[in-house]
Chain A
Amino acid sequence: MAGIVKPQSGFVITPHKVSICILLQVYAPSGQFSVPFPFASISQHNRLGLFLIALTKSCDDILEPTLDEFLKLLKEFGGLLDNWLSEHVNGRLSSLSSPDDLFTFFNELRGILAGPETSIVDDDQINLDPNSNLGMYLRRCLLAFNLLSFEGMCHLLTNIKTYYKEAFSSCPPYEMTHLDDPSNDLEAPLEYENMDLENIVLQNFTEELESRKRVPFHNHSSKALFTLIEDIMVSRGQKVKHNHRSPETSVLPNTEPSDVILQRTNWQIQGYLSEQADMIEKLGSSFPMSAFESVLKLLQKVAPELHRVHFLRYLNSLYHDDYPSALENLHRYFDYSAGMEGSDFVPTSFGCTSFGRYEIALLSLGMAHFHLGHPKLALEVLTEAVRVCQQHSDDTCLAYTLTAICSLLSEVGISNMTGIMGASDSHVTSMGTSLSVQQQLFVLLRRSLKRADSLKLKRLVASNHLAMAKFDLTHVQRPLLSFGPKASIQLKTCPTNVCKKLRSSSQLIHHFDNESSVMTIDGALSTSWLKNQRKPTTSLVFPQENGPEGNFDNFYPWLQSSSVPGSVLQLLGSSYLVRITSWELYGSASLARSNALLFATCFADSSSSADLALAYGKLIQHLAVYKGYKEAFMALKIAESKFLSVSKSGILPVKLQLLHERALHRGHLKLAQQICDELGVLASCVDGVDMDLKTEASLRCARTLLAANQFSQAASVAHSLFCTCYKFNLHVENATVLLLLAEIHKRSGNAVLGIQYALASLSFCELFNLDVLKASATLTLAELWLLLGSRHAKRALNLIHGAFPIILGQGGLELRSRAYILEAKCYLSDSSISVSEDPDIVVDSLRQACEGLEALEYHELAAEAYYLMAVMLDKCGEMEEREEAATRFKEHVMAFENPVKPEDPLLNML
């Protein structure tokens, strides 16, 4: 079939290889004695030998140096001899002017190989052992030369001439490079000249960065730019290290791109593409789109049969939200490759190869729709994928598809399955439509886990465990059957289950730690970008290929960079992310923080920028809650500098949330409303997509309204939010919303109504083991009781004391301060306790509350605390301190009532 790539031709003789051969000849001239002519000492001779070995090892590198670079390298190694050597190389190269010269040259080369019969030779004589490293290399060169047709020889000759000429003329000879770009006009500079692929990327990258810098909204420091560029350089640097090349030579290889590509083998380019694919996924939208696109176009022009390029173009446009182009390229890729190209493809024993594996196309298309926020389309496509997989009995793909459907269902709010999943999908509908979405999801999760387990797809198993953990975190398990004997079930989420699942998902790393062979066995499928269950594209480049140089993949730098594949690391990283969330919910702030720190330190390199932004966001929020805004904003600045474009990264919502919180505390209600609206705009307008952002935005909106004392409006917003959450089964959020409703009623003075909501919220918290939230709800409940009259002070006090362990242990500054204030209030209003006898129990806690609230700049509560303190001190008769507290109280009241402070430096962050 025309669409399948031809076997790679392997070792191609190039001018660079000819120069190495020239040096080889110098190193081992036939029939000479131990130290041949130009060398002064044995060590000098050995030095050249080492140099040659290094060169031969890097012969499969993506780049081949130009003559200039080569000579520069030679200078470094050659020491005293360098002039002689480079002149010799130049002389030999220039003497090769006719095909016959080449023939003679290679004939001479054959002479320096020791024949098989002369394997035991005189020690004095220098002969290359045919089985040594250098000998093998020479033999390969000879073989490649012998295989050349006359035309091939002519081309080699022309290449040598250009290679030689380029080094000695400042202006390059006729360059076709500028013909390559169709968009070029006559006046355009020959931009690709003297530049290699990666340099194009680098240069255009910098240009893009510069152009982005001009956009006022993203104000990132030049340091951020530098680190990113450095990032790229590091990946290059690794290569350099492995190829025993000095860095300065490989930074600016002076090679024409089309030439470079031709000298690269299929493998090398595919490796390059895999690397780039990883980069795209990692950097997401901050990957330089147009620069890479132009490289891809170039590649496509030169190698039209390399269909992977289309896939990369697809990825590139997908991550830049270019829907039409992504779709176009995806279809093109699968039309050409039939899903059987590149690292994706491992020939399967059960002969489905002749049909093509178009189900992968469906899977990819579904995931693309998912990524772009079209859940309905995604579900349609994935359903079709399931069907086609079953038809072609492609179990692996089926397992992946099921997992994809699971993640789709769990991430996208779908209230009603009917009408979305057609009558066709037996997997989903066989259980009957009576089941809720969540139940169906649970069943699907279990099935796909089982399937992945039986197929020994380790990554998939791990990611399924992770999905189960996520599910268990937010869902109460109920029996699926509505009839029959019922085992007694605790209607609660089960934290131990979550922990178990999380642990089993991170066990994955052990499989990859000790047995590297697993990777190749289970490489049946990869939709490499599939976020959580990615394949190690890096280590899996063509496990099935066993060309003449099958062993040489050892020299690929990316194989040596890490023993654990990147996708596994990423998966592990996301298990830590789930851990963060679970600890946050279960109310262990310190554990959540330590997990976030762990993620940020260990997985920052391997995870995608979105994940990283999430972890940073958690850390920043933690700081804000426990240390106040100053530190949080400092941390935010640091985090922002790590991202190329703040506006597109996950940091932006965090920043907005932080700003909103602060504005609320300081009483800048207009600003708060504005930020709220901005947060809402970030979410996609499609129903069910970006649910977390949407709930967050309307929750904050309700809080802003509450702060503005617009109770009925706040209540209606909260109410509609509750309805939405209920519709999409977001029960954890429901607990928060109920608490907010209680708060609204409390503020409006309707304690009786508020108590109901507080109790409802409490029961939700118990159901989902939300300890901190529960403490907060208890606090609100106590406040409500107190509101009913001082005769309930005792009850309120009891409630507070019951919640104190959690509040003091895990609660943030605000929660703690609120508790202290409430406690003080209770004492003050409880007639049975005479505070003046033991003022310290109140004053101490009030003092702590004041400190915390000052850090939070929460003027309203701080004023209250100082007021209480002043009252207390007045009672105790400590006039001086009372005056001080009173002044502070006045300050805070003033600040709260006149919120506009023009000199506020943080305002311009928006």
Chain B
Amino acid sequence: MGVTKENCRNELRTAIRQLTDRCLYSASKWAAEQLVGIEQDPAKYPPSHTRLQRDCSSIRRRFRSTDEITSTPIAGTSYVSTPVPEDDNEAVDSDFYLLAKTYFNCREYRRAAHVLSDQTGKKALFLRCYALYLAGEKRKEEETIELEGPLGKSDAVNSELVSIERDLSTVRKNGTIDSFGLYLYGLVLKEKGDQNLARTVLTESVNNYPWNWSAWQELQSLCTTIETLNTLKLNNHWMKDFFLASCYHELRMHTESLSKYEYLQATFGFSNYIKAQIAKAQYSLREFEQVEAIFEELLRIDPYRVDDMDMYSNVLYAKECFSGLSYLAHQVFMTDKYRPESCCIIGNYYSLKGLHEKSVMYFRRALKLNKNYLSAWTLMGHEYVEMKNTPAAVDAYRRAVDINPCDYRAWYGLGQAYEMMGMPYYALHYFKKSVFLQPSDSRLWIAMAQCYETDQLRMIEEAIKCYKRAANCNDREAIALHRLAKLYGELGQDKEAAYYYEKDLERMEDEEREGPNMVEALLFLANYCRSQKRFEEAEIYCTRLLDYNGPEKETAKSLLQAIKFAQSGFPSMDVEHFS
């Protein structure tokens, strides 16, 4: 790694102080998390200490204080070392600034802005604009509820945007803007809808001051395609790796994202954030076991964490782990019941219990708290599907895809809902969308194939194509092979059918599964080999069939007899007629 841990540590420490000083709390929270996520030097500290690092805060604090004294910063290597800007300690302003900050901390934003209205320093300007921005946001939220007209949302906007933009653009033209100002400017521009300029401004901001994670996040939300991401001119800083990893995840490049995080983990070995992100990527790759392990560890270290726990609940749901889910739900409920994630977890719990009405209620609450909460819309759609309320399900799914048109689960849900209503042809449109977004998910291909296979459509050839795709992308439930064999059998293309039956058989043997599919495959293959005059193979299949009870056993017996007749040169007779 091109940058030493010490270096990171020092940069982060300064950054936390600066961010906190400007009331950018979530960014400083993030920075602090990464700071303690940096692995301690095993040479200096015995491993036992590092293992306890997360559990024993007092130890950690002590370590940190000593650390600060002893550490000597080492210059970065291939990375562009961004000089940590010195704080402008404007002595005259500082009293007002302190007052404004206290107001800000008490969430009295307008008051804070007012106190700073005559101040000229960069810090003061930033805090004033930021406070105004937050005041505007608060008012906007209120107005959205107050003005909710007959047509839904009102056009409530943050009324401060214009003045903030005016101020910041003048400062930018003067060249006296600092990177925090640029961040805020980018935020305002983004909200105004001027995406291109917002991207430029935010890029400028993160290049000047890379430790503001909020700026990176805003930038990420503006990079919806890999092309735009590649056109960004970003300095090489280790923060860029965090950014890229997160972007890759959003762009559904999960393996790339995963490798980036693993690389980062070399430095930030104890970062909960990275762990959670890895879990996210693994979840998208459907590696549930690993996700579960990661979350268990996370909960042990950080038991009051609510972030990302909804994904954990999804995993528990998928594994039908009642007690685990209920425990999690209880935990987050006690921690903070009015977080959208908490509501979502509770909704998941009720859904698993089969209490769909209650579950919908909690998803609704989650959406009330954050109406752009994507997974809640999708999950609510699932609930409505369970409740057989398809129009409501369609509506919920549609809202999800309108928030994020790349949400293949919601597209899939839409397809399913329409299929349920007996409109398979209409549903195909949605399945197509879904497989387009996630071509490596066999379940989607299978769903689409089943849609083609329905009695109403009977488009067997298309179904076969879909099943083939499904079989090629790691079809866990092994539906595709069996269906392929069956469809080819129906079409009378016995050669292909035999091929797929064989493959299916192999697979079942590998996984040591038994069942009606096995019998069917054996029976078909026995018949097929006999008709192809490959009597030895046919015999093998027949003998295997003899292990099963039921009518197949008798058929196998008569088949064996017929084979023997045929082999011994007797005129063949159709024994099946007698069986």
Contact = CB atoms under 8 A, between A and B. Distances in A.
Interface residues of A, number: 58
Contacts of A331: 429-430
Interface stretch (B31-39, B157-165, B482-490, B509-517): B157-165
Interface string B401-437: 0100000000000100010011111100110000000
Given A305-B151, A335-B397, A423-B458, A155 B426 contact: no
A185 B152 contact: no
A175 B399 CA distance: 30
Given A155-B146, A305-B153, A384-B426, A184 B193 contact: yes
B456 A384 contact: yes
A2 B376 CA distance: 14
Contact of A380 (B154, B157, B399, B425): B425
A778 to B, nearest CB: 52
A422 B456 contact: yes
A262 B156 CA distance: 11
Contacts of B155: 176, 180, 258, 261-262, 301-302
Nearest to A152: B146
Nearest to B169: A186
Contacts of A332: 398, 402
A304 B154 CA distance: 9
A8 interface: yes
Nearest to B160: A174
Interface stretch (B60-68, B212-220, B226-234, B386-394): B386-394
Contacts of A387: 422, 456
Contacts of B147: 155
Contacts of A361: 426
Nearest to B189: A186
A843 interface: no
Contact of B193 (A149, A183, A384, A423): A183
Nearest to A2: B395
B150 interface: yes
A902 interface: no
Contacts of A1: 389, 391-392, 395
A327 B159 CA distance: 37
Interface stretch (B122-130, B194-202, B289-297, B469-477): B194-202
Given A184-B194, A355-B421, A388-B421, A303 B391 contact: no
Contact of A303 (B149, B394, B395): B149
Contacts of B161: 176, 179
A185 B163 contact: no
A301 B402 CA distance: 13
B426 A179 contact: no
A180 B191 CA distance: 10
B329 interface: no
A550 interface: no
B396 interface: yes
B414 A335 contact: yes
B540 interface: no
Nearest to A154: B146
Interface string A349-383: 00000111010011001000000000000001100
A265 interface: yes
Interface string B135-177: 0000000110011011111110101011100000100000000
B455 interface: yes
B80 interface: no
A510 interface: no
A391 B151 contact: no
A7 interface: yes
A362 B390 contact: no
A70 interface: no
A301 B152 CA distance: 10
Given A176-B159, A422-B456, A151 B426 contact: no
A354 B388 CA distance: 11
Contacts of A423: 458
Contact of A362 (B197, B389, B395, B423): B423
Interface residues of B, number: 50
A338 interface: yes
B457 interface: yes
Interface in A5-23: 5-9
Given A174-B159, A388-B422, A355 B150 contact: no
A305 B399 CA distance: 11
B152 A305 contact: yes
Contact of A174 (B163, B169, B402, B426): B163
Interface in A378-430: 380-381, 384, 387-388, 391, 422-424
B192 interface: yes
Interface string A260-292: 011001100100000000000000000000000
A670 B194 CA distance: 55
Interface string B225-245: 000000000000000000000
A266 B192 CA distance: 27
Nearest to B193: A182
A185 B194 contact: yes
B153 A303 contact: yes
A872 interface: no
A5 B197 CA distance: 37
B150 A422 contact: no
Contacts of A384: 423-426, 456
B381 to A, nearest CB: 11
A659 interface: no
Interface in B438-467: 455-458
Given A262-B155, A335-B398, A185 B421 contact: no
A3 interface: yes
A181 interface: yes
Contacts of A7: 150
Given A185-B197, A332-B398, A362-B426, A265 B150 contact: yes
B423 A358 contact: yes
Nearest to A151: B146
B151 A269 contact: yes
Nearest to B392: A1
B426 A381 contact: yes
A149 B169 CA distance: 38
Contacts of A2: 392, 395-396, 399
Given A262-B155, A338-B395, A362-B423, A174 B150 contact: no
Nearest to A176: B157
A186 B425 contact: no
A77 interface: no
Contacts of A192: none
A295 interface: no
A306 interface: yes
Given A174-B162, A356-B391, A304 B422 contact: no
Contacts of B430: 331
A186 B194 contact: yes
A332 B401 CA distance: 10
Contacts of B143: 155
Nearest to B145: A151
A335 B458 contact: no
B151 A338 contact: no
Given A327-B429, A332-B402, A355 B390 contact: yes
B150 A6 contact: yes
13 contacts: A1-B391, A2-B395, A6-B150, A152-B146, A176-B155, A176-B161, A180-B193, A182-B195, A355-B391, A362-B423, A384-B456, A388-B421, A423-B458
Interface of A: 1-3, 5-9, 149, 151-152, 155, 174-176, 178-186, 258, 261-262, 265-266, 269, 301-306, 327, 331-332, 335-336, 338, 354-356, 358, 361-362, 365, 380-381, 384, 387-388, 391, 422-424
Given A179-B193, A302-B154, 16 more contacts: A2-B395, A5-B151, A6-B150, A6-B152, A9-B150, A149-B146, A184-B193, A186-B194, A258-B155, A262-B149, A265-B150, A305-B153, A336-B395, A338-B391, A356-B394, A384-B423
5 residue pairs, one from A and one from B, having the closest CB atoms:
A305-B152, A303-B151, A182-B193, A335-B398, A356-B391
